[in-house]
């Protein structure tokens, strides 16, 4: 099979060698540079990439992705879209070819979107930017996705077990362009519930609480917004906005709705536990963190927050047990939290404090 990696980039000189080393298992690497002012183009060409330089104006991520896809030769069997701040684990091609059957349209793979300061995984989900050569087009100015525009239906999707892509972003890069592009995206396709959800979430990031609430209530009212996980996230973001506005009772109601919408996710239970923690309602903290910990299978969707699968549930339980005077149970939970994040000095201090109090009490 002919495997081609394609990408867009701008001022990625610092990542060029690491990325090319990672992509070297492909037969060909094609890059669209959209206007670098550093040595990105020169470095990529030196390392063996085929680089084309074109400005995309006005800027849209989908326009840039589509132009880069046009540069992929027609004889390619598998197109692999990555960014220069992403790195494959070695052996990815063999794992991809093992999963790819004749007629396959698309492949999903494990994607680590963020890492914690200690190097452990943060947000992990399954992405799907690997696809067949014909019939696909990128859509949306930002948070772009592949849309099938070919005849009939696309070939079946496969899960490429063993393919691992890691994201190591440049923290200096701004995401300031995202909000206006999301507003443009919703204006272009107001019926697209995914974009409305993303826009509401972006308003949350900007602290625009009322805009977040208004937009996400609209998302929940859309007939096409039927995915429980994303509906749950909208409810949680509405709750967070109400909490920031000082309307804690309304926030609690929305968190309860989020739990009911997606009881299979840890996140709504933990959000509610955090709200109750701030109120000192320790029994409530214990109940909802207990519900969260009963969920042991990490979902493969992007709605999977790192904190929910890290030390947080045990940390909250340790504090709640401690406040309730149940020191032995508090120590057990504190040690569970520390085992998950052993380099955290606060967690280590909490466990040491509880041990000393237990020892002093005999």
Query: Mean pLDDT for each consecutive 10-residue tract of the chain (362 residues)?
Result: 97 96 98 97 98 96 98 97 98 98 97 90 94 98 97 96 95 83 97 97 97 98 97 98 98 98 97 97 98 94 90 98 96 97 94 94 66
Separation between Cα atoms, residue 232 and residue 238, nearest integer Å: 10
Among 251, 195, 240, 246, residue whose Cα is nearest residue 218 = 195
Which residues contact residue 30 at a Cβ distance below 8 angstroms, ignoring those fewer than 6 apart? Answer: 4, 5, 6, 7, 49, 50, 52, 68, 71, 72
The reported pLDDT for the residue numbered 362 is: 54
Among 157, 129, 163, residue whose Cα is nearest residue 302 = 129
Separation between Cα atoms, residue 331 and residue 306, nearest integer Å: 23
Among 310, 307, 304, residue whose Cα is nearest residue 337 = 310
Separation between Cα atoms, residue 45 and residue 58, nearest integer Å: 26
Q: Is 349 helix (H, G, I), strand (E, B) or coil?
A: helix
């Amino acid at each position: 099979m002919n495997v081609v990696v394609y990408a867009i980039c701008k001022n990625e000189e610092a990542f060029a060698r690491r990325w090319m080393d990672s992509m070297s298992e492909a037969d060909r690497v094609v890059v669209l540079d959209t206007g670098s002012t550093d040595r990105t183009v020169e470095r990529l060409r030196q390392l063996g990439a085929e680089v084309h330089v074109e400005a995309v104006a006005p800027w849209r991520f989908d326009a840039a992705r589509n132009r880069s896809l046009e540069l992929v030769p027609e004889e390619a069997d598998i197109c692999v879209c990555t960014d220069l701040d992403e790195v494959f684990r070695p052996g990815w091609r063999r794992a991809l070819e093992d999963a790819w059957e004749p007629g396959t349209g698309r492949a999903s793979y494990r994607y680590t979107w963020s890492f914690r300061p200690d190097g452990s995984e943060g947000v992990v989900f399954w992405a799907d930017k690997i696809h067949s050569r014909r019939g696909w087009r990128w859509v949306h100015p930002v948070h772009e996705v592949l849309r099938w525009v070919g005849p009939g239906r696309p070939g079946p999707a496969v899960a490429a077990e063993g393919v691992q892509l890691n994201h190591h972003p440049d923290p200096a890069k701004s995401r300031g362009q995202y909000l206006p592009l999301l507003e443009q995206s919703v204006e272009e396709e107001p019926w697209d519930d995914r974009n409305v959800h993303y826009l509401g979430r972006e308003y949350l990031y900007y602290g625009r609480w009322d805009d977040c609430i208004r937009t996400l209530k609209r998302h929940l009212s859309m007939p096409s917004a039927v995915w429980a996980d994303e509906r749950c996230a909208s409810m949680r973001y509405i709750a967070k906005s109400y909490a920031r506005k000082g309307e804690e009772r309304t926030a609690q109601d929305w968190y309860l709705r989020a739990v009911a919408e997606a009881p299979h996710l840890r996140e709504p239970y933990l959000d509610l536990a955090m709200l109750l923690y701030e109120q000192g309602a320790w029994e409530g903290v214990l109940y909802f963190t207990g519900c969260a910990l009963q969920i042991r299978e990490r979902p493969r969707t992007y709605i999977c927050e790192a904190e929910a699968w890290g030390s947080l549930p045990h940390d909250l339980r340790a504090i709640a047990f401690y406040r309730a005077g149940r020191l032995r149970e508090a120590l057990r939970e504190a040690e569970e939290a520390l085992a998950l994040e052993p380099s955290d000095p606060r967690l280590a201090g909490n466990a040491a404090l509880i041990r000393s109090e237990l020892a002093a009490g005999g």
